[in-house]
Amino acid sequence: MTIIEQIIASHSGLQTVKPGDIVDVAIDTRAARDFGGANVVKNLVDNGLTIADPKKTIFTFDCNPGGSDQKYAANQHYCRLYARENGIRVYDVNAGIGTHLAIDNGLVWPGSTFVSTDSHANIMGAIASFGQGMGDQDIAAAWAKGAVWFKVPSSVRINLNGKRPASLSAKDIVLNLLSIFGANKLLGNSVEIYGEETEKFTLAERITIASMGTEMGAIIILFPTSPALINELKLITGKDYTMVTAGQDAVYEKTFDIDLSKFVTMVAKPGHPHDDTSIETVRNQKIDSGFIGSCTNGRIEDLRIAASVLRGRKVAPGVVLKIVPATDAIWTRAMDEGLIQVFKEAGVMVSNAGCAGCAAGQVGQNGPGEVTISTGNRNFDGKQGKGFVYLASPAVVAASAVAGFITTPDQIPEQPALFHATGIPGASRIARQEKEKIAKPVVVEGSVWIIPKDDIDTDMIFHNRYLTITDIREMGQYTFDNLKGFEDFAKNAKPGDIVITHKNFGAGSSRQQAVDCFQSLGISCILAESYGAIYERNAINAAMPILTYDPEVLGQAALENGDRVKVDFIAGLLTNLRTWKSVQLNKFYDAQLAIYRNGGLL
C-alpha cells in the first residue's frame, strides 16, 4: 500500500484499503482553533454530545493571538470555558500555530492521524502523518466519536531527480511544483515525493512544501521518513519513532519524473499561488512591505535565513518588514540566538507567534494598492489584505525589504530604492473647490430619545471594533450597539430624532465616529447636561448640533420618550409639542454658530 493507505488501514481496523473505499478512521489528535472552535463546541452542545477522549482533544488559538477582535476574543473565551469543564488542553494565544505545536510537542508522529479546523492540517505529511483540515461538524464528530468517515484517495508519486541547485529553497521547490501542476492537476490525490535529494530535506523544508499541498488541490503531500528526519524529531520531542514508507509494490494512479536540477528561484504573482514565474521576470518590482512567517515559513531555520540577509543592514526607507515566528518556543529560541536583536536593529517589526496575516488576525495585512512580498502560502485577492501579494522564500523577502524592490540576496544594491511622490490615489479630482453652501436650519423638530444615563462613553456610542470604518454612510448602523438597553437604537431611530441624555456624554476616546454616526442616522441634535471635552469639540467642528441644559428643565418640560419637540439653537429654547411647555436651554455660542453655518470647521 501507499503511505496514506497504510495509515488509514491501520486506523480503521482493516488489513488493507484501496482508493474509493469509505472507512471510519480513528483520529489520534483532534484539534479546533479559535477560528471555528466556538462552532465546534456549539455543535457538540446543541446535539448533546460529549468528548470521547479529552486527552486526545485540543484547542489551538493561533488565528487571532492578539485577541484584537471582539468576536475572536469572545469565541476564545467560550472555548476556554468549555475546555475547563471537559478537561481539554488549550494551547492559548501565547503558544503559536497549532499544526507546528502538534509536531513539536509529539502530538503527531510518523504514521499518526490528525484533524483540525485548519485547512493546512495536511502539513503533517511532512512527517508521514495523515493530517486533514475539516469543517466544524466533522471536528465535532471526531471529538464525540474519536473517528471520522473518510474516502481513501488515489495516490500520485512525484520523483524529484537530479541535484538540487545550491541556492534553491524549499519555497522555490514548491512554487516550481505549483507552476507545473497548478491548482487542480493533483486535485483530490494523496501525493508522495521521492528522490535522493528529498531524503536530505530538513523538517522545516518538508513543512514548507507539505503546507502548500492545499494550494495544489492535493489531499496531502507526504514525505516518507528518513533516518535524518527521525533523529530531528527525536531531538525536538524526546521521543523515538519508527520509519514510515510506502510498500515496494505500492500502486500509484500516476508517477511523475521531474528534474529538480532545472528548478529556479520563483515568485508567485498576486492573486494565485500557482501563478508562478522566475524571479527574473519581476525583479526590481517596487514593494511597500514584506512579511516572513505563517505555517509555511515560520520555523527557526526560516528566521535564521532572514537574519543572515538582514544582519548589518537596514530595511529600506518607507518599507515595513514584519516577522512572525510560528511558535513561542521558536520565538524564544530566536531571541536566545540573537536573531530578534538582528531584526530590531534592521528595523523589523517582530510580533508574537501565530498565523499572522494569513488568518487576517494579526500583523501581515496590507492596504489597497500596497505591494507586499510574503512567505505565506496564499495570495488570493483579499486574503492578506486589499493590496497585491507576491509569494517568495524568506531569503528573497528579506533581501527585497532591504533593497526596496523584489530581488535576491546576491543582488542587493548598496543604496535602496526610494519612494517618489506620485500623488495620493483619488486626488486627481480638483482638490479645492467651493462646496455648495446649504443653509443649515437653526430650528429643528423631531421625536425624542431620552437616555437617562451619565458618563456614556465613546465605546458605548461607537465601539472600537468599528474604528476602521471611514465612510460616514456606514457608521449609523453601529450607533449605541454597545450601550445596554439601547442596542437596537440604530434600527429604530428616524431622521430628525433628538437624543437627550445626562452628564458627560461622549467621555472617553477622541474618535470622530462617535459624532459622525449620529449624522449618518440623520439625528437632528443632541441635548446633554454636559459633554466630554474632546467630544464637544468634535461635534461642534463637524456641525453636529449639541446643546447643554440645566438638570431641572426636563421635568419642567414634562418630557416623555417619543414626544415631538422643537429646538431653537439660537434662542436656546425647547418646546414640547405635546404639552406646549417651553424650557430654556443653553444656546449656541457665537463660534459654535459660525462653524455650524459654515457646515463644519473645514
Do residues 341 and 256 share a domain?
A: no
Q: Is 187 in the same domain as 276? A: no
Average pLDDT over residues 77-97: 96
Sheet containing strand 29-33, strands side by side:
89-91, 57-60, 29-33, 113-116, 130-133
- pLDDT at residue 437 in the model: 64
Q: Please, is 59 exposed, middle or buried when counting C-beta atoms within 10 Å of its C-beta (0-12, 13-18, 19+)?
A: buried
My answer on whether 216 and 187 are in the same domain is yes
Instruction: Give the β-pairing of 266-268 and 254-259.
Output: unpaired
What does the block give as the cell for 251? 500502486
Q: Which of 9-13, 236-240, 364-368, 489-493 has the lowest mean pLDDT?
A: 364-368
Above pLDDT 70, what percent of the chain? 97
Determine the pLDDT at residue 555. Answer: 85
Among residues 119, 531, 183, the alpha carbon closest in space to that of 359 is found at 119
- Are 270 and 250 contained in the same domain? no
In a domain, 100, yes or no: yes
pLDDT in tens, 503-515: 999 998 889 999 9
Q: Longest Cα pair distance anywhere in the chain, in angstroms?
A: 96
* pTM recorded for the entire structure: 0.83
Is residue 416 assigned to a domain? no
Residue 408 to residue 266: CA distance in whole angstroms: 11
Q: What is the 3-state secondary structure (H, E, C) of 306-360?
A: HHHHHCCCCCCCCCEEEECCCEHHHHHHHHHCCHHHHHHHHCCEECCCCCHHHHC
Is 23 contained in some domain?
Answer: yes
Residue 98 and residue 217 share a domain: yes
Domain boundary among 411, 433, 452: 411
Q: Given this model, what pLDDT does residue 426 score?
A: 56
| 220-224, 329-333, 382-386, 414-418: least confident range | 382-386
Residue 573 maps to a domain: yes
Do 496 and 406 share a structural domain? Answer: no
**Averaged pLDDT for residues 375-386:** 84
Identity (one letter) of the amino acid at 268?
Answer: A
391 in any annotated domain: yes
Using alpha carbons, select from 591, 578, 600, 577 the residue that is nearest to residue 443. 577
Last residue of a domain, one of 229, 262, 295: 262
Domain boundary among 262, 287, 307: 262
Residue 171 maps to which CATH number?
A: 3.30.499.10
Residue 589: give the domain boundaries: 443-597
* CATH code assigned at 511: 3.20.19.10
Quickly count helices (H) and strands (E) in the chain.
Answer: 19, 25
Taking only the tens place, the pLDDT of each residue in 25-74 is 999 999 999 878 999 999 999 999 999 999 999 999 998 876 667 778 88
Band (430; pLDDT cuts 50, 70, 90): very low
Of residues 80 and 431, more confidently modeled: 80
User: What would the mean pLDDT of 243-263 be, rounded to a whole number?
Assistant: 97
SS3 550: coil
pLDDT in tens, 530-562: 999 999 999 999 999 999 999 988 889 999 999
Mean pLDDT of the chain: 93
| Distance in angstroms (rounded) separating the CA atoms of residues 537 and 543 | 10
Q: Give the least confident one: 277-286, 437-446, 589-598.
A: 437-446
pLDDT at 265: 97
Residues 59 and 86 in one domain: yes
Claim to verify: residue 54 and residue 129 sit in the same structural domain: yes
Q: Is the pLDDT of residue 428 over 70?
A: no
Q: Using one digit for the tens of pLDDT, what is the confidence trace for 137-153?
A: 999 999 999 999 999 99
Of 179-188, 254-263, 435-444, the one with minimum mean pLDDT is 435-444
Residue 255 Cα distances to 152, 180, 226, 509, angstroms: 18, 14, 21, 63
pLDDT class of 169 with cuts at 50, 70, 90: very high
In a domain, 565, yes or no: yes
**C-alpha to C-alpha distance for 118 and 63, rounded to whole angstroms:** 10
Do residues 373 and 393 both lie within one domain? yes
- The reported pLDDT for the residue numbered 468 is 83
Same domain (yes/no): 54, 177: yes
Question: Is residue 425 included in any domain, yes or no?
Answer: no
Q: Are residues 354 and 476 in the same domain?
A: no
Q: Is residue 123 part of a domain?
A: yes
Number of domains in the chain: 3
Set of cell numbers at residue 509: 476616546
Are residues 298 and 376 in contact, defined by beta-carbon separation less than 8 angstroms? no
Which residues touch 449 (CB under 8 Å, ≥6 apart)?
Answer: 489, 493, 497, 498, 499, 500, 561
Residue 262: CA atoms inside 13 Å, Cβ hemisphere, count?
8
pLDDT of 431 reads 47
Position 359 confidence tier, pLDDT thresholds 50, 70, 90:
low
Residue 370 and residue 228 share a domain: no
| Alpha carbons 63 and 353: distance in angstroms, whole number | 10
At 479, give phi and psi (nearest 5°). -65, 125
